[in-house]
Structure 1
Amino acid sequence: MISVARTMHDIEITAENLQEEKYRLEAQRQALERELAAVVAHLGSVRTVLGVLRDLIQVAPATATAQGTRGVAGMPRPETPRAPAASARPQRGRTSATTSRPGVGDDAGQGRYGRLTEQILEYVAAAGTGVRARDVAAALGRDTDSGSINAVRSTLDRLVATSRVQRAGRGLYLAEPS
């Protein structure tokens, strides 16, 4: 027969374990909420950039038509029906999602993302040796959560893709030699 004292002890241990699990799950939930917020913000910026690129794609054919019938790298362009050039150009005073946000579409001072890219380039160049994304984020004060660190990591990956930064090893980034 099992003693009452042993049963009570087992129940207390189970309750303590569940309490610890509850704290761990709450911390994990909060971390996931922060990461989701960072992903949502990044998705919004990607949508904004895609909107700007779509506007540029619409403007580019009108500009190319005004310059002649040559396309990219001097190759003849295939003829396609186009809307009148005046309607394809962006209107001044327009308040769309691409122009109403600060830092997007304004030439007076770079937007937040251009400044981040320049800050990252300056830090990597000054380091002189391979640096990790987490170190760059910490140096720029952007190591508050995984979303901010991932934004720095994504920017570094884009800089590698455009040959402005090179990989020095797994997870290491190095400035391109001048």
Structure 2
Amino acid sequence: MGSVTQTARNIETTAESLQEDLARLQIQKQALERELAAVTAHLGSVQRALDALQALMPGSVPAPAPPAPVDVTAPPKPKSARAAASGGKADRRPAAKTVPSDDGADSEKTYGKLTEQILAYFAKAPDAEVRARDVASALGRDVDSGSINAVRSTLDRLVGASRIQRAGRGLYRAVKP
């Protein structure tokens, strides 16, 4: 009878462990979905900017359209089923998520405008040396590691483009005129 009790304990321990894993994975999934939405929005803004620049260049050939976004939450449906499900109407995707701006105004900024938000932050504090986590916190993007990493990646990109400076290991500051 001792082995039945031990087996019951093992099952209970395994079930508890799986419940903890499930909760952790659900949080991770939400963070990844937010990060995907941010990347998708940024991709769209970069594509529009590139299209606008190429239209200004003489004799330029339009850039090919990027591939359609992939829905990672559900398996793809055949095109005929997708068209039938939408009633033959165009695919309507939800708008990009927004975060409140920190300038006190009622306007909201889109996730795809992270570069502009970071540059505005550094414009307000031109002599400050800050960490990526501090920038993320000031922009309301410190809710998970994915959001902080998006800020960190954008900061590194801005350093590469000489729009901000690296002040030391993990420290950033505005470019001095």
> Which is higher, the Rg of structure 1 or of structure 2?
1
Equivalent residue runs for 1:8-157 within 5 Å = 8-62=4-58, 112=110, 113=113, 115-122=116-123, 125=126, 128-129=128-129, 131-157=130-156
User: Quick one: structure 1 residues 135 and 12, their matched pair in 2 at CA, closer, same or farther if it must change by over 3 Å?
Assistant: farther
In structure 2, the partner of 1:171 is: 170
Asked if 1 retains the 8 angstrom alpha-carbon contact of 2:131 and 2:170, the reply is yes
Distance 1:125 1:13, change over 3 A: farther
Of stretches 110-119 and 28-37 in structure 1, the one that deviates more from structure 2 is 110-119
Letter paired with 1:166: Q
Gaps of 5+ in 2: 63-94, 97-106
Instruction: Count residues with an aligned counterpart.
Output: 132
- Deviation, 1:59, is 1.7
Per the TM alignment, residue 18 of structure 1 is displaced from its structure 2 partner at its CA by 0.9
- Where 1:21 maps in the other structure, the secondary structure is helix
Between 168-177 and 141-150, report the one with greater CA deviation.
168-177
Task: Give 1:15 deviation, angstroms.
Answer: 2.2
Please, what TM-score do these two structures have when normalized by structure 1? 0.57
Describe the shift of the 1:25–1:59 C-alpha distance in structure 2 as closer, same or farther (beyond 3 A): same
CA root-mean-square deviation:
3.3
Per-residue displacement from partner, 1:50-95 (whole Å, max 9, x unpaired)?
A: 4313422442234xxxxxxxxxxxxxxxxx5879xxxxxxxxxxxx
What SS class does the counterpart of residue 126 from structure 2 fall into?
Answer: helix
Question: 1:2-37 CA distances to partner (integer Å, 9 max, x unpaired)?
Answer: xx12x1342233123212321221123212312321
What is the alpha-carbon distance in structure 2 between the residues aligned to residue 110 and residue 27 of structure 1?
31
Q: CA deviation at 1:136?
A: 2.0
Distance in 2 (CA, whole Å) between partners of 1:12 and 1:82 is 69
Question: Structure 1 residues 12, 123: CA separation in 2 closer, same or farther (over 3 Å shift)?
Answer: farther
Higher RCO (CA-CA < 8 Å; seq separation 6+): 2
How much has 1:135 moved relative to structure 2? 2.3
What TM-score do you get using the length of structure 2 for normalisation? 0.57
From the two aligned structures, give the one with the greater helix fraction.
1
Look up the SS of the partner of 1:33 in the other structure: helix
SS of the residue corresponding to residue 143 of structure 1 reads coil
Q: In structure 2, do the counterparts of structure 1 residues 27 and 138 end up closer, same or farther at CA, with 3 Å as the change threshold?
A: same
